[in-house]
Amino acid sequence: MWKNNKTRRRFLKSSGILALGTSLNPLELAAEDKTGAEPNAQSENTSNPAAEGLVYDIHQHVNFKGRFDKQLVDHQRIMGVDKTVLLPSGSAIARLSTHEGKSDGLAAQVHPTEAAILLAERVPKNFVWFCNEVPDLPEARQKLENYLKQGAKGIGEQKFNIPCDSKHMEMLAELAGDYGVPILLHFQHEKYNTGFENFWKVLGKYPNTNFIGHAQTWWGNIDKHHVQAEMYPKTPVTPGGITDRYLADYPNMFGDFSAGSGRNSLTRDEDHARGFIKRHQDKLMYGSDCNDIFGQGAKCSGSQTLAILRRLAPDQTVLAKILSGNARRILRI
């Protein structure tokens, strides 16, 4: 894609990415060995994931709250992740869809698409990348299409203050359908991708586009009696909530277990979680979305979610679908 490293660095400098911090510095990654292997790269295993226990993490970020690239690479290695999906931010810009700039960087200092490409090219065995842009920018479609032509595996994390059934979401859905890639969405009541109860309109209108749901409002709505303003409910779950119905009724709707909201959906009612996992085993994927540097223990929500899924999954076949099989199928990786 790039003629040489100087060409890339000129682009990164002109676009402001290099000024965002030091996490893009290749020297922060572990040095390549004499064979030319990627730093901290685990061997790629293309055999049956059900037999081999592969782990694909569908939700991570470059410069997540200032974390360096090497720290991210090490974090994923310690967790035992074989392949990680990097979800970039969109342009830094002050407008209503970014809460006048307060939600730039996905509200977490996350770097844009070029940074995700850079790390994925540095460690190609273990990382792939999505592309992203603020969807109501006039140039959004063209920029996203350029990245999709370059090999982006999806669009997201879409985390912007727009109605989830708006014309901007329809633009994304049409584009993703044209390129056969999914869109990963952060649903948060009255803040990001608003009007969750109306998303069925998009699901029905774009049946050939796959959507991956994530975050507080997505996971709160596993409960039929969910109160939308509540972000991390702790009460027992009554099946039949909006999320439950979207997963059951629409073949193009999937779920991402990442972050505290995904973990909370499993622990608030473990009996419900066991049935939910079994019922939607072909629709659910593991993601971490944690910004720690440890990759294990009480300070790493991603490793905690892995442990919970391994405990609650009804058998190894279902577990393998959630930890890697569904992601491999949907992302075609």
Q: Residue 158 belongs to a domain with what CATH number?
A: 3.20.20.140
Domains in the chain, number: 1
For the chain, residues with pLDDT lower than 50 are 1-51
Would you state the pLDDT for residue 32?
34
Output the pLDDT for position 52.
Answer: 57
In a domain, 185, yes or no: yes
3-state secondary structure the chain: CCCCHHHHHHHHHHHCCHHHCCCCCHHHCCCCCCCCCCCCCCCCCCCCHHHHCCCEEEEECCCHHHCCHHHHHHHHHHHCCCEEEECCECCCCCCHHHCCCCCHHHHCCCCEHHHHHHHHHHCCCCEEECECCCCCCCCHHHHHHHHHHHCCCCEEEECCCCECCCHHHHHHHHHHHHHCCCEEEECECCCECECHHHCHHHHHHCCCCCEEEECHHHHHCCCCCCCCCCCCCCCCCCCCCHHHHHHHHCCCEEEECCHHHHHHHHHCCHHHHHHHHHHCCCCEECCCCCCCCCCCCCCCHHHHHHHHHHHHCCCHHHHHHHHHHHHHHHHCC
Q: What is the extent of the structural domain holding 276?
A: 58-331
Residue 111 lies in a domain: yes
Q: How far apart are CA 266 and CA 96, in angstroms?
A: 34
In a domain, 112, yes or no: yes
pLDDT tens-place string over residues 25-76? 333 443 333 223 333 333 333 334 443 589 999 999 999 999 999 999 999 9
Give residue 4's pLDDT.
44
Number of Cβ atoms within 10 Å of the Cβ of 276: 22
* 239 CB-near residues (< 8 Å, 6+ apart): 222, 224, 272, 275, 276
pLDDT at 18: 44
Answer whether residue 207 is part of any domain: yes
In a domain, 166, yes or no: yes
Does some domain include residue 52? no
Asked if residue 33 is part of any domain, the answer here is no
Question: What's the pLDDT at 5?
Answer: 46
Q: Looking at residue 182, what is its pLDDT? A: 98
Contact call for residues 297 and 303 (beta carbons, < 8 A) = yes
Taking Cα atoms as reference points, which of 132, 325, 209, 75 lies closest to residue 333? 325
| C-alpha–C-alpha distance, residues 58 and 86, integer Å | 8
Look at residue 103 and tell me if it is in a domain.
yes
